[in-house]
Amino acid sequence: MTSKLQPRAAVVLEELLAGNERYADDRPTHPHQGRRTRATLTAGQHPLAAVLACSDSRVPPTLVFDQGLGDLFIVRNAGQVLSPDALASLEFAVLELDVPLIVVLAHQACGAIRAAAATFGGDDIPEGHLVQVLAPLSPAVAFASRHASDADDLDALADLAGHTHLRMTVTALRLAGPVIATRVADGRLGVVGLTYELATGITRMLGDHVRPTAAA
């Protein structure tokens, strides 16, 4: 699971997965909270990892990984899109906070992914600025529509699009130059993808569902 990561990143990933196991088993420790932690953090932050996650209220990374104040540098938006702002924030975590690991955290039943799948082809275009949220998800939906066993099954299409989007995002992030790509190439930084299961609370490593290239 962690053999391709450099030791520092592998240790951090194992810690996050162990925290998620505690959370899923209803035995979280809620570390690094309270007055003493707050006082310590006034001098600065040294997070274990950076996390690019969806804004969904059901998937709070700090709770999901049973971490506390100062442990995770979290960037969130609808659909965990690698937008310019998100990328810049992750670069800050790498350059200024020296995080050895970036986790892209997707989740089941993502509303943004489902909406992108439902509007694929130009139907039911949403009002206001929502179209700007869905547009970056269209490459994953397009790939999924070509490979889904039944492209008319919205649930199946959205599920495959979600896996595809996660893989595309991880790939794009690993290649995002010059900051992240350089550090991934020389082994100083690891980038991994995880999917969160809403009912069980378990996060699973990015599987081999699909193998698209990074989104353009």
Least confident window among 12-21, 80-89, 202-211: 202-211
**Residue 150: is its pLDDT beyond 80?**
no
On the question of a cis peptide bond just before residue 47, with omega within 30 degrees of 0, the verdict is no
Residue 183: name the closest of 118, 119, 94 by CA.
94
**Residue 126: is its pLDDT beyond 80?**
no
Q: Residue 209: its pLDDT value, please?
A: 37
Please return the burial class of 12, using the count of CB atoms within 10 Å of its CB with bins 0-12, 13-18 and 19+: buried
**Residue 14: is its pLDDT beyond 70?**
yes
| Domains of the chain from N-terminus onward | 7-205 (3.40.1050.10)
- Antiparallel, parallel or unpaired: β 203-205 and 190-196: antiparallel
Tell me: the pLDDT tens digits for 41-63?
999 999 999 999 999 999 999 99
CB atoms within 10 A of CB 140: 26
When pLDDT is averaged across residues 130-141 and rounded to a whole number, the result is: 89
pLDDT band at 151 (very low <50, low <70, confident <90, very high): low
Tell me: the pLDDT tens digits for 172-193?
999 999 999 999 999 999 999 9
Task: Please tell me the pTM assigned to this model.
Answer: 0.91
Top-confidence residue, 94 or 130:
94
| Mean pLDDT comparison of 67-71, 113-117, 120-124, 202-206, highest-scoring range | 67-71
pLDDT band at 131 (very low <50, low <70, confident <90, very high): confident
When pLDDT is averaged across residues 112-140 and rounded to a whole number, the result is: 83
- Three-state SS for the chain is CCCCCCHHHHHHHHHHHHHHHHHHCCCCCCCCCCHHHHHHHCCCCCCCEEEEEECCCCCCHHHHCCCCCCCEEEEEECCCCCCHHHHHHHHHHHHCCCCCEEEEEEECCCHHHHHHHHCCCCCCCCCCCHHHHHHHHHHHHHHHHHHCCCCCCHHHHHHHHHHHHHHHHHHHHHCCCCHHHHHHHCCCCEEEEEEECCCCCCEEECCCCCCCCCCC
Least confident window among 31-40, 108-117, 121-130: 121-130
